[in-house]
Structure formats: C-alpha cells, structure tokens
Structure 1
C-alpha cells in the first residue's frame, strides 16, 4: 500500500495536512493516470496525498490505517466480480465510516447495474472509467472533498458542542473556568475551519495597588498546556512581548501568521485573543472571532470574578489555619502536610471527586477550635494535668461551633472534622465517644493523618519519632484508635506519605 506525495503540490499548499485520496483498483495504469491528473490538485490551501491499494483486502487495511480518507475511488471488479461492493459494505458497516466520499468506478458497467448499486450500497457516485476525463475527474474530486469537508465540520461541531455543554455543566458544578474556556475555543476553531491553528485567550487585570496579572482562561493546540484549572500561568516570553505591545497600543494586530485581538472589559481589565494562523483570516472568520471575544469576554469576566472569590476564600482558610498553628506553637508545615495527606488517603479510598476537592481545604480547619484555648495551656512544654487536659479537649467542640453556622460545604466538612478527628474507633475518644462507622469518614481520615504527622514531627514536648516506630504504633492501634481499613491503606502507601511530607517541611528544617 504505497503512499504517494507529489513534491510539486507541497509548494502550492500551506503547512496544513493534505487531503487523502485513496485509489483502490487492480489496474496499475488507473493509479498512474489518476495521480498524474490530480497531483496538482489544491483545495482550501491544501494539496493531496494519494493512498494506493490493489484489491479489497488491501483497501480495507488502508481504511483501518487511515480513517480520515476524504475520497476513495473504488473499482467494482478486482479479485472477484463484486470485491469493490463488498469493500464498500465493510467500510460503511464494519468500520462505521460514513464520512469518506466513495466513488465506485467500473470498466464493465453492465456487470453491476448502476441503479441496483446506488440503491443497495452507500456510495456517493458511480462512474464508468471511460466517463472520467481529466476535467470531469477534477470536478468530481472538488465536489467530493467539499462534501467531505462539510460532513466532518458538522461532526466536529457536534462533538464540540457536546464538549461545551459538558464543560458548561462543569463550570456550574465546580467552577472549572479554564475547562469551559478551552471547550469554547475548540468549538470556535471547528466552526471557523481553522484546522490545527492555535487559539489562545488570556485576560489582564490591574488591581487597586497597581499589580497586574495575566491569567489563562482557555487554550487549544500547542498552548493547551498553559491552561491549568484555577491557576494563573506564565505565558511564553515571545507571546508575552507581543501581547504587551497590543495592550500598549490598545488595538488589534494581524499578520499572515498571527492575530491578536484587544478587547477591554473595564478600565482595569483587558481580554486578549491570540491566534497562530496557517494563513490570513478572511472577513467572516475575523468578524466571528471579534464577536466571540467581545461577547464571551463579558462571560469570562463574570466567571473569573466568581473564581477569584472562591480562590480568596481558600487562601483565607489557609492563612487562618496557619495563624492558629503558629499560636499553638505547632510546626510550620503541619497544615500543608495534613492537606496533602488527607487528599492522598481520600483518593486511595476511592472517595468521590467532590469529597476530595472539599477535604483538600476542610482539613486545614481541623484545629480551628484551638483559638479558644488559653496560651498557657497551648504553650505548656510538659504534660498537661487533668484539669488542663479537659480544657484542651474542648477545642474539638469549639471548632465545630465556630464552623457549623454556615451551609458552605468546606465549612460544613471542616466543622465535622474539627469535632470528630479526636474520636477513636473503639469509642474511647472525645468529645462524644463515637465508635466505628458512627465516626464520619472525614473524621477518621483526619484522625490518623493528624497523629502520623505529629509523631513524625518535632514538638515542644517531644522529639520526632522514627519511621518504623511510627508504623509500628499505627499497626498496634488499628481497630483501637484508628479505622483498620484506613490504617491498612495508609501503611500500604506510607512511602507516598513520607514523600508528601517532604513537600512542606517545618520552618526549622
């Protein structure tokens, strides 16, 4: 199955992938004449590549290897009188390929009557080989490839719309702004027939203090790696410099290889649409892009503000948690470590993604109740007496009371964790003496994570324990202090626990 690329055609076409034309015929002369006639064919700045097969079996293998064949000329009579018809049936029904345009060619028209063939088989044209003069062959190819282009565009648009709808739901559920942005951009590329061109959207915002940031809202193609959900990204320096020029001039920029659109949304915020092109935009493409940017920019602005508020809330949770740890003279990285460890355990326990996303921040609130504990008790270097211990234990209930007055999910889970992370599997914990599965799983996860991190860390009243010593303690207390299943999962992944701890070392390490 040779692949034919004509060197002369490449100079006439852009760097877009060529259209694939398959020639499936047992006569070598037919291949030669078809290639000679069509080798300079060019449609929408794309040349052609010829794929050859000489019987039905080779033809089927060709389609399995190249599902994106735009047009196939198929001979009726090859190794058998109906080899071409059988091949077409397999292409349409076994491979479920309904996009490729199939033109049946025969040197013996009477052997496969045209009306019967058109009625029974999903073909797009039926020609006697003698009918296809050079002019008619080119006309036939233009019609077929234009049809293939439209069919694939519709199919891609359908898929793109499904992606947009799915990502829209994701925005409503989890506020994944970048996922939504990338899906919209992908759909726009398809509708504008920009093929593999890269489309990139960013926004610049200057706050009250004059600090400016560039946030990736959506990307496709080679720049898609910049689009990390919920995180502002540094864009490549060459692009950054070009974007700065557009921001300074406050006007669009367009060349044959690049379009940068400037769309202000307020005095302090500007949306930038950056596109790497395979060729100059036509008027319709440019107008559609401008309509997209000017209208969708407003949507992005509103969604960005919502995402900023959520990110601010999460950052404030971390600041509050760090402040409580500092007040209680805990190690500096404790909060960050228990977040990483609870997230890992939740994943290994196959908890839902919503649960994992919530515990990631709720875990930071586990000791929020310590804000009510007198410093003399918090900072006491030695062992607490019975009276002091009773006061210390109240931090679990106090933490719950501080957080339980809201219906926000992070605070709700934080309240549960604050109250239950000192409960024990055998019912000997506090404040309510819950046992077994009556202890919420988020409390059971935090209970073991909190102890593991405390034992491995230096405290004002103790030196850090060794790894094997900690693992031995955890094993001994499975089914007593800790959920036995969670204990087993933690021990199986203890190397990962230790690796996560290295990501957030204590201040004095």
Structure 2
C-alpha cells in the first residue's frame, strides 16, 4: 500500500546507503521522505513533524537506532518502526524485538525486498489508523452507553469499584454509598437457589454471563435488569476486574444489539493486537531465511483448520493459530551461510540447523503468557516424528504435543510447495505422495487422513494467501 499521504522518516549515517535508498524511493514514486544522518537529528525532526513510518539503522553515532526508538516511543507508543540490520547479532535482535520493532530489513538492502517490507509496514500504518478510528468510535459508543445504560465495575471479590449515574438512579443509592460495598447489598432474595453461585462460576472461568436479575433498591423496592457481566483480562490472561452493563428490562430490546457489538469489538481488538505481535515475531525467522512472510500466515490458517477437524475446541484451535507462526523463530540463531545455503547441507551444517528447534524453545520457554507458552511447544516439537526418529528429543507418538504434530504437517505441506534457496517448489502430487508415505512414521496417521480428506479446504487457504512476487 503506497500512498504519498504517508510521511516517512529515514535514518541512516551512511551517505552511500541513503543515496541508494533515495533511488529506490524515487523509482517507486515515493516522495514524502525526510532523511536524517543519526538518531539525535532524527529525534529533533520527529519532535517537529508528524511521521507515519520511521525507518532506522541499528548502529549509528551520537544516538543509535535503539535509543531513538525508545525516545520516540515516549512521544508516540503507536509509532510503526522498520529497522535496517545486519541480523548478525542475536542480542541486538532480541533487544529490537523487546522494543517491539514492527519490521526488519536485512543489509545489504535489496530493492525488491525493501519495497516488500515497506508495503507491509505501510499496511500496518493503515491498520493502526483504522484501529485508532475504531477506538474513537468505540469511546463515543461508551459515552452513549454510559448515558443510557446502567454500568458498574467490581473487583475480584464482587466489591463495587465504579457505578455510573444510571446505576445510582435505579438503585437509589449515592455513588459514595455504593463504592466499596459488595453487590450483595442489592440482592432481592427473589433469585433461585444457586443462581449467583453459577453466575460467579461462569465469570470466574473467564466467560461472559448474560441474564435477568431481580435486585432491590435502597427503598426496598424490587427492580429487574437484564445484565451482561464480562471479565476484563490483562496481557497475562488474568482477570483484573468485572464490568457489568445493565438495562431496565423494558429498555433491553432497544439496547441489546448495540451492547453486544461493542463487547465483541473490544474482544476482537485485543485478539488482533496479540496476533499482530506474534505474526511479526514469527515472520522474523522467515525474513532471515529469505522466505516469504506468507508462509507463516498459511501455516497458521492450515493449523487452525486441522485443529478444528481433529476435534480441538475453538479456544485451542485459535491458540494454535496464534502460536504456529513461531515454529521457526529459532532460525534467528542460525548462521546465514547455513540458513541460506543453496545446496545440500553437510552433516555438521545440518546438526547446527537442527538446533533452531531448541533455540526457539529457549527464547520462549520462560514466558507466562499462554500464547508464547504454546509457541515454545510448537517451536520445540514441530520436527519430532511419530516413530521417534525426529529431533531434538526423539519424542514418539502421542508424547509429541498435538500442536507439534499438527504444525509439522502444515509446515511440510507449505514448505515443499514453495521455492526455497535450496530447492524448487514441488508439484502437488509429489507432496501428497510424501504425506501418504509418512503416515505412521513421520506423521500422525489420523491427522494425515483428515488433511487429505479435506484437501480442497487447505488448497483454498494456499491460494488465498499465495505469495506475490
């Protein structure tokens, strides 16, 4: 997505590289680019201008790319970054990942690859703008809901932490009388036995509860509300509080559709943000090995489909879809001369290549986040084989996690069908023969049967996310 309405800040201390990149921009009719010689100069420009994308070198005098990114994030946490790097220092790469750098381009810069990553970067700029617009609209909806619906928040023990004006009006308590009180204050005694136990069981298990509740106001009068109670989660998937949106039963039909849409939008935004971060990290390994970022997208979609076909829950299937793009993240630790060797690897080179499974696991294993824990498992086990002849641990059969078994099939199917530095793409019939021959030895036979019997669905995904050159 190239659009001259977007302004780019390009930071590079090498005049020859700057001039080279200027030629690339000019050839592609990109005019809104401002250049800086170092991080300090770039920061001054940033403070006095608006930039949609910042492209920066990693190592520079006066202020390097890392410090520049830190300073810019103090000004704008949502800024999109593209870092130019030699990819030869794992510590620097990890540091860049920790800074949430969005995209990487490897030196020496190749025009075609540069424009591919630039297009992806500008596409993310557009997505972030759309998300900000959605959040603005959502905030306006929130204000509308706050003025028309009965809203409250409670802590993990059910103690009230927030009520809006409508809540006070219907309960006839003041805000001061309600804050800090438990919701039991409003019980009417008219609900069935076990009703509130089931309600708490639902929301404590991170699910949304919806239903009708009879409450009693300060004067002792009963009022009936239709409620949606939703747990709010932090980035570690822990419940931090509960939000309840209620409507007087007579008003419910007027507002229920709007309320549901806003709740769905909030959940959708959180999931998409997590997916964006994981897909960006997963694509790093593909970028280093000169493979297309669409490989990880296809593997993610294949994995979700196969997980559903084998009977995993929607939650498990979505988790695998988010985790599977990280299967080759360990490739960031493999030397370029091995990773991109055009011919067959020697025995010693292949032994080094095999370490990417453990390297990926080692990078992710200490995380407490569910997505990254699942990613660690996928990275560690997607090269294990059903008969125990795989690596790195020689696991066998169902000792291999179902996520690893699924990703193994999806990764092989997609990798064989694409051009790589060491081979040409295989014909579909040849790939299918390999999958069939690997039943019960390399692959889980049940999964292979499901894959082959639903091949049309996988081919649809392959075509939808095909590589564009």
TM-score norm. by structure 1 comes to: 0.44
Larger Rg: 1
